[in-house]
Structure 1
Amino acid sequence: MILLVGHHKGGVGKSTLAVNIAVEMQRLGKDVILVEADPTVHTVTNWARDREENGHRYIQAVQMKGNLRTSLEELGGKYDVVIVDAPGKDSKEMRTAMTIADVFLMPFQPSQADLDSTAGVVETLSEALDFNPALKTLAAMNRAATNVFSTDIRESQEYLADYPEITLASTVIHERKVFKNCLDEGQGVVEMKDSKAKAEVQLLTQEILTW
């Protein structure tokens, strides 16, 4: 499976979700590779280096740029799961990855700025579907408030209902300090002590695998 994690907007938590899903996929027995597709950012490759240096189970991470289609097709024949962390913008990397990916995961924060950028992503997605009609798109709400009185989740659900091209994941990822800590330590939250964060990542991964 080729899983593309992307958005037109930066700061939505793509890299954090990508590495956490990678660790959970590995825990499930799958051979995983991470592709960092933004040459100006090293979050994923730095995380993979820290992971190896800290003695955790190795996950390969590589950097790629430009037209990714052929490279991802080759990786897809070698690995069970290829996870692509796309740049936080409309890019050649994201567009070409969309033409070969099985699932496009679109993280977003429950903020107006993130929601307003959805239209641009859908426009890009519509073009990609002409080349890859089997591509499935899952939007994942990330960094949601843990406050039980917050209306962010309901309001975001109502907003995304206007975009039938996108399925909203049932799993919501909440704002938790452990997600920052896992990046610093080269781990996934499924390997750490926060049971709520662990459950969220496991449930989201199962949604992706079900597709």
Structure 2
Amino acid sequence: MIILVAHLKGGVGKSTLTVNIATELQRQGKDVLILEADPTVRTVSNWAKDREESGHPRIQCVQQTGNLHSVLKDLDKRYDVVLVDAAGKDSKEMRTAMTAAHVLLAPMQPNQTDLDVTESLVETIEQARDFNPELRVLGLLNRASTHIFATDVKDSRAYLDEYPELPIANTVVYDRGAFQKCMDDGRGVVEMKDRKAMAEIQLLTQEVMGW
């Protein structure tokens, strides 16, 4: 199974979600590989290196740029799950990965800056489906406020209802310190003590794999 984590905008939390889903899948016994498809940022490969050096179970990470279609088709035969962490912009890597992926997970923060990109993202998805009509798409509200009176999730869902082409996950991932800590430590939150963060990643992983 190929899961592409991508968006046209940077800073939406793609890399953090990628490594956390990978860690949860590894915990479940899956043979997982992460393909880092950003030619300028090494967030995931640095995390994987820190993970191995800290003695945690190794998660293989490879770096690849350019046309990813054939590469992903080959990796899909050799691993249970291939997670692709694309750059936060429109890129050749993202578009060619869309032609091979089974699922596109599109995280976005519940703020107007991220939501304003939705129309362009939907157009890109529709173009990809000309080459990969079986591509399943799931949007995710990520880094939501934990404030008890916050309405960002509710307001964002109302806005995104105008885009039925981009169904939004039932799971919401909130802005928790554990997510930054796990990136610093080479771990996933499922290996840490924050029960709420752990539950969010486990529910999200279940939703993505079932999508």
What's the TM-score bracket when you normalise by the shorter of the two chains?
A: over 0.9
Please report how far the alpha carbon of residue 132 of structure 1 lies from its aligned counterpart in structure 2 after TM superposition: 0.8
Q: Matched residues in 1 for 2:161 and 2:95: separation? A: 24
2:153 corresponds to which residue? 153
Per-residue CA deviations over 1:32-56 (Å, capped at 9, x if unaligned) read 0001000100000000000000000
Q: Matched residues in 2 for 1:144 and 1:25: separation? A: 23
Per-residue CA deviations over 1:11-45 (Å, capped at 9, x if unaligned) read 00000000000000111111000010001000000
Q: Matched residues in 1 for 2:75 and 2:18: separation? A: 17
After superposition, where does 1:82-97 map in structure 2 within 5 Å? 82-97=82-97
TM-score of the two chains, using structure 2 as the length reference: 0.99
1:4 corresponds to which residue? 4
1:26 lines up with 2:26 in the alignment: yes
Unaligned runs of 5+ in 1: none
Q: Matched residues in 1 for 2:123 and 2:40: separation? A: 25
Q: Secondary structure of 2:62's match?
A: strand
Per-residue CA deviations over 1:41-96 (Å, capped at 9, x if unaligned) read 00000000000000000000011101000000000000000000001000000000
One-letter amino acid of the structure 2 residue matched with residue 11 of structure 1: G
1:192 corresponds to which residue? 192
Query: Over the residues paired in the alignment, what is the CA RMSD in angstroms?
Result: 0.5
Q: Matched residues in 2 for 1:96 and 1:165: separation? A: 20
Q: Secondary structure of 1:106's match?
A: strand
1:17 corresponds to which residue? 17
Identity of aligned residues (%): 62
Q: Secondary structure of 2:4's match?
A: strand
Please report how far the alpha carbon of residue 108 of structure 1 lies from its aligned counterpart in structure 2 after TM superposition: 0.3
1:119 corresponds to which residue? 119
Per-residue CA deviations over 1:75-124 (Å, capped at 9, x if unaligned) read 00000000000010000000000001000000000110100011111111
Q: Matched residues in 2 for 1:24 and 1:129: separation? A: 29
Q: Secondary structure of 1:77's match?
A: helix
Please report how far the alpha carbon of residue 209 of structure 1 lies from its aligned counterpart in structure 2 after TM superposition: 1.1
One-letter amino acid of the structure 1 residue matched with residue 36 of structure 2: E
Q: Matched residues in 1 for 2:157 and 2:210: separation? A: 21
- Where do 4+ consecutive residues of structure 1 move more than 4 Å? none
1:182 lines up with 2:182 in the alignment: yes
1:163 corresponds to which residue? 163
Q: Matched residues in 1 for 2:8 and 2:14: separation? A: 11
Unaligned runs of 5+ in 2: none
Q: Matched residues in 2 for 1:102 and 1:161: separation? A: 23
Per-residue CA deviations over 1:127-185 (Å, capped at 9, x if unaligned) read 00111111111111111001121110111101111111111000000000110000000
One-letter amino acid of the structure 2 residue matched with residue 72 of structure 1: L
1:68 corresponds to which residue? 68
Q: Matched residues in 2 for 1:119 and 1:148: separation? A: 30
Q: Matched residues in 2 for 1:126 and 1:200: separation? A: 29
